[in-house]
Amino acid sequence: MSALDRQLRPIYDALDMGSHKSAVVSCNKLIKRYPNNLLLKALKSLGLVRSQKIEEALPLLEEVLAAKTTDDATLTALMHVLRLLGRNQDIVSMFENAYKQQPQNEDLGVQTFFAYARTGNWKVAQQIATRMHKQFQEDRYLYWSVVGALLQANDLATPPEMRTLLYKLAHRQVASSPSPSYLSAERFYLHLSILQELQLYDEANKLLESEIGKSICSTSLPCNYLRRQIWRARGLYKEEAERAKDLILEKNDRNWLEFLSIIDAAFPPKESGQEPVTDAIPETRDFFNKIAETDGVKDRSGLLALIELEHRARVAGGTSDITVLKALLQKYFVLHSEKACCFEDLKPYLDLSDADRDEWTTFLDSQRSTLESATDLRCLINVHKLQRFSLPASKLTAELESGRAASYIRDYKEGLRLGLELPETELQLADDLAILAGQALVNAWYLSKEQAYLLQAVALLEFTLSKSKVAYSVRLMLIRLYRLLGAPTLALNHYRALNIKHVQNDTLSHFALSRATTFSLASTGDITYSSECLETSQVYLSNSNETSEFITRAFHGERYSQIPNFIEFEERLENSLQRDLVKMEHVRMRMIHEPIVSDLIDMEFIELKIILDRYHFDNRDFDIMPNYQPNGQPSFEVQTRLFGRNAGLGWLRVYLKMFIRAFQHASDLDDATEDKLLIGDRPKKSSDPENQLPLVERLNKRNLEEESELTEQELKLFEWALTLADWLEPYHNVARPPPTVDGQKTSNGETGSSARKDDAPPVRSTPDLVVRFFDDVQSEFEASVGRDCLPSELLHIVTIIQEAVTLLVAETVRFKSTSVVKIHKLSQLVQSLKEVRTKACVSLKETSESLVKSGENYGTADSRKAFVDACSPIIDDDLVHHDFVLNIAKNVCDSRKKTLEGVGKGGLKISSAYDKA
């Protein structure tokens, strides 16, 4: 080991341990002694970037990059720096350059391959792998090349004819391999998937029929999955069914896929174009009957398969007798009603006629028994769930639902006795009865808009949670209800108690953060929600830092079956809708928390534009919310959406357009400066044709489908913002400083635009809507206060007015400079704007004052008493005690008081800040 090597060790250690500063200090010392050492400079820039000193790191980085080194250690250090900066294109050119200089260096070849893989450039990656295979004669490079071709084929941008060509190329390559693909299950998988795509079924069959092929399929689920697909594509339903029967009989396999295979032989799926095989039905029925008889209560597959068979026969319009299906449903219930999943199992088959449904309900009635054991309890829960599911519309009124809730609660009380001995870490056996009651109460509210039902639901569910501390589904329900009730702090507490981690931040954070600005107290300096937004977004950083690493590992380990899905996973997280919904909320909160100045405007302008170019994937998990609402009613999840509208892709796009337009007006950024500010590669634009239009056109394009996700007030805000922007646009265009030349501003913009001075359009008077909006929304607010609406609705209106004020500030920040006004003769405009601003601020002030007053009302004993009174139907001294409800009432009232007062005071602060400005 050389002296330098020895001295390098502590630097690596420091970097590994996260002591980036000390790594930089050590580098500095050594650089004095070895001023030309590239590795030291690369390591120093890594330390700097990791300690967020990006500006200091950049010159050093450029210097090392320019040297075009081939030294392994330096390249690795540089790769880490560039990856942190998101400059994947530079990683590509760096390794490509090095590999060109040393074409014999296998390691550099591998790195170049991965660099291209990371940028999704599979075409070049594939060519490199082919070259490496020729040069280094290693089989795996051949397979890398095959994967490269397949991934290129699967790219959406690849035209269909090209796709087939690429698969054919992959096929030739696999065929040319010196060793057969069946030596490994993963290569075998790859080979099969190519044959499947090219429909070379004879060849696929040869592989599958071989001894080794059969053995691979028996242990490898992915290969077996492909085999099944191929057989189905060939129309071999009968053969597949025989195989499945063997597995079920010989190996006692109870995988539902095998049962489906048998049913598919009798009723081939539509896409196969085959007719039902009526002869096969009796035989299939016998087979399932036999299985059902042998398995009995032990396994439900046989009986469930019989039901599926009868159901398919009915759907296919065959001769199936409804009495057979009804008898089977009853038999299933009798045998399996003690299993918690009985309801979920039967649900798909309950599309019965009115008369049949009544008969089914009566049958279920006869199945109730006294509650002596956990089994009885599960059976009773299934009775309730199934009966509730089949309730006809005529029996759905608030009163009836409330009565049902009472009966569920009675059974819940009984059922709790059976779980007294359970440890705290277990779910109570009777939980589902309380959940059913909660759902019935919420449905009663949904039908009548009577808030008392919501309060009862909250009190009951809180009680349930006190008995069953780990019941996460109860927490999810409470989160939704507390948000509706304007008690977001309690919702957030439950959300945190769920202990959401890692990837769940993507799929579940919508519960806490959808339209969270409504509840944010950022205007008063409380950044709880802003921090929650930032924390939840960490998962996207770890995705972009870590997932690609595993794609390379999967290549190294030749786990080809996983690679496409790893890539899909990475893409779905990277382009997650929830990610950008959270980002949008964060920007909205910044606007009420920070001064609206060019730092904020420019940065968010760039980021929001990038988001507008994205193709989004919706990974939000809504199915996790339990739903036991009657068939035909909206689900519990839908019923409890804040403001009754799901803020999804449409909402995001409208908000993006609205904010980008305002920021574009406010910003002096031009493309050249923007590129300099942007660290890292520009993300690939999605191939959506709309993305090809110029930005201005895209921003002005309206889309009714998108707008349908907005609330009434949001839509008004959007129309207001459009009118305001249209009105001001010509003046912005005149007053904006000209683009910079060579990155240098020609002037501070005030004299530089003299050439366009004459073009200043005459000032148009204020469009009617720009002022009327505030009157409109304010009178809506006053009407809402009068009609006992949900507190969340009041919060919504005030935060929308507040948003209008901040957007107005952004739109007019340019005209604050007296010299701009003077040069472009805009004083008349400024006068009009002042009137608008005063109007806006007064409106915000008055509604905020009223909100503060409403908040104060929640601090009184009367309001707690009203809460408890509303809950009287569910208060029971042996179950939900009066004092327990009083405590909940106190929590809810406190949270409402805090939020309404807080948002109101924040609104006052903003209105006075911008009124004076």
Partner 1 sequence: MSVIRPMQATDMLKFNNINLDIWTETFRINFYLAYLSRWPDLCCIQESSATAEGLSTEWHGHITALSVAPEYCRMGLSRALVLHLEYVSDEMYKGFFVDLYVRCTNSAIKMYEGFGYSVYRRVRKYYGTLGTDKGGRDEEDAFDMRKPLSRDPMRRSVRLNGRDVLVSAQEVS
On whether the CB atoms of residues 796 and 730 are closer than 8 A, the answer is no
Cα 369 to its chain centre, rounded Å, is 44
d(CA 872, CA 69): 78
Decide whether 3 or 156 has the Cβ nearer to partner 1.
156
User: What's the closest the beta carbon of residue 62 comes to partner 1, in angstroms?
Assistant: 31
d(CA 850, CA 758): 47
User: What's the closest the beta carbon of residue 503 comes to partner 1, in angstroms?
Assistant: 5
User: What's the closest the beta carbon of residue 295 comes to partner 1, in angstroms?
Assistant: 10
User: What's the closest the beta carbon of residue 488 comes to partner 1, in angstroms?
Assistant: 21
What would the two tokens of residue 125 be? 């990656």
What would the two tokens of residue 672 be? 């050249």
DSSP 547: I
Decide whether 620 or 896 has the Cβ nearer to partner 1.
620
Phi, psi of 170 (to 5 degrees): -60, -40
Lookup result for tokens 């950024």: 669
Q: How many residues does the chain have?
A: 917
Q: Return the amino acid letter for 343.
A: F
CA distances (Å), origin 344, targets 38, 122, 339, 380, 382: 64, 43, 10, 15, 9
Decide whether 74 or 619 has the Cβ nearer to partner 1.
619
User: What's the closest the beta carbon of residue 108 comes to partner 1, in angstroms?
Assistant: 23
d(CA 377, CA 371): 6
Decide whether 547 or 912 has the Cβ nearer to partner 1.
547
Decide whether 219 or 394 has the Cβ nearer to partner 1.
219
User: What's the closest the beta carbon of residue 502 comes to partner 1, in angstroms?
Assistant: 5
> For the CA atoms of the chain, what is the radius of gyration?
33
Task: Pick the closest to residue 494 from 519, 466, 453 (CA basis).
Answer: 466
Decide whether 620 or 864 has the Cβ nearer to partner 1.
620
User: What's the closest the beta carbon of residue 472 comes to partner 1, in angstroms?
Assistant: 4
Lookup result for tokens 């980008």: 660
d(CA 781, CA 802): 13
Decide whether 26 or 509 has the Cβ nearer to partner 1.
509
Task: Pick the closest to residue 617 from 518, 537, 686, 547 (CA basis).
Answer: 686
Decide whether 59 or 557 has the Cβ nearer to partner 1.
557
User: What's the closest the beta carbon of residue 550 comes to partner 1, in angstroms?
Assistant: 4
Decide whether 619 or 799 has the Cβ nearer to partner 1.
619
User: What's the closest the beta carbon of residue 9 comes to partner 1, in angstroms?
Assistant: 26
On whether the CB atoms of residues 669 and 605 are closer than 8 A, the answer is yes
Decide whether 580 or 803 has the Cβ nearer to partner 1.
580
Residue 744: strand, helix, or coil: strand
User: What's the closest the beta carbon of residue 915 comes to partner 1, in angstroms?
Assistant: 46
CA angle 604, 607, 609 (to 5 degrees): 105
Decide whether 22 or 255 has the Cβ nearer to partner 1.
255
Lookup result for tokens 């390098």: 8
Helix 139-154 with 185-197: angle, nearest 10 deg: 40
User: What's the closest the beta carbon of residue 308 comes to partner 1, in angstroms?
Assistant: 8
Decide whether 618 or 780 has the Cβ nearer to partner 1.
618
User: What's the closest the beta carbon of residue 47 comes to partner 1, in angstroms?
Assistant: 24
d(CA 103, CA 135): 9
Give the end-to-end CA distance of the chain in Å, rounded to a whole number.
67
Decide whether 103 or 348 has the Cβ nearer to partner 1.
348
On whether the CB atoms of residues 820 and 814 are closer than 8 A, the answer is yes
Secondary structure of 631-674 as H, E, C letters: CCCCCHHHHCCHHHCCCCHHHHHHHHHHHHHHHHHHCCCCHHHH
Contacts with partner 1 by CB under 8 A lie at 185-186, 218-222, 225, 254-257, 259, 298-301, 304, 339-341, 344-345, 348, 423-427, 469-470, 472, 498-499, 501-504, 506-508, 539, 542-543, 546-547, 549-550, 553-554, 557, 559, 561-562, 565-566, 568-569, 572, 619, 621, 623-624
Task: Pick the closest to residue 799 from 378, 491, 388, 516 (CA basis).
Answer: 516
Q: Exposed (0-12), middle (13-18) or buried (19+): which is 680, by Cβ within 10 Å?
A: middle
User: What's the closest the beta carbon of residue 750 comes to partner 1, in angstroms?
Assistant: 51
On whether the CB atoms of residues 563 and 551 are closer than 8 A, the answer is yes
Residue 863: strand, helix, or coil: helix
User: What's the closest the beta carbon of residue 25 comes to partner 1, in angstroms?
Assistant: 31
Decide whether 138 or 546 has the Cβ nearer to partner 1.
546
User: What's the closest the beta carbon of residue 157 comes to partner 1, in angstroms?
Assistant: 21
Q: Return the amino acid letter for 666.
A: A
d(CA 758, CA 739): 18
**Number of continuous H segments (helices) and E segments (strands) in the chain:** 47, 0
What would the two tokens of residue 262 be? 């048998």
What would the two tokens of residue 488 be? 């977001």
User: What's the closest the beta carbon of residue 499 comes to partner 1, in angstroms?
Assistant: 8
CA angle 60, 62, 66 (to 5 degrees): 120
User: What's the closest the beta carbon of residue 589 comes to partner 1, in angstroms?
Assistant: 26
Secondary structure of 491-544 as H, E, C letters: HHHHHHHCCCCCCHHHHHCHHHHCCHHHHCCHHHCCCHHHHHHHHHCHHHHHHH
Decide whether 63 or 549 has the Cβ nearer to partner 1.
549
On whether the CB atoms of residues 654 and 718 are closer than 8 A, the answer is yes
On whether the CB atoms of residues 462 and 871 are closer than 8 A, the answer is no
User: What's the closest the beta carbon of residue 567 comes to partner 1, in angstroms?
Assistant: 9
Which residue pairs, CB below 8 angstroms and at least 24 apart, start in 279-283?
A: 280/238, 281/309, 281/313, 281/318
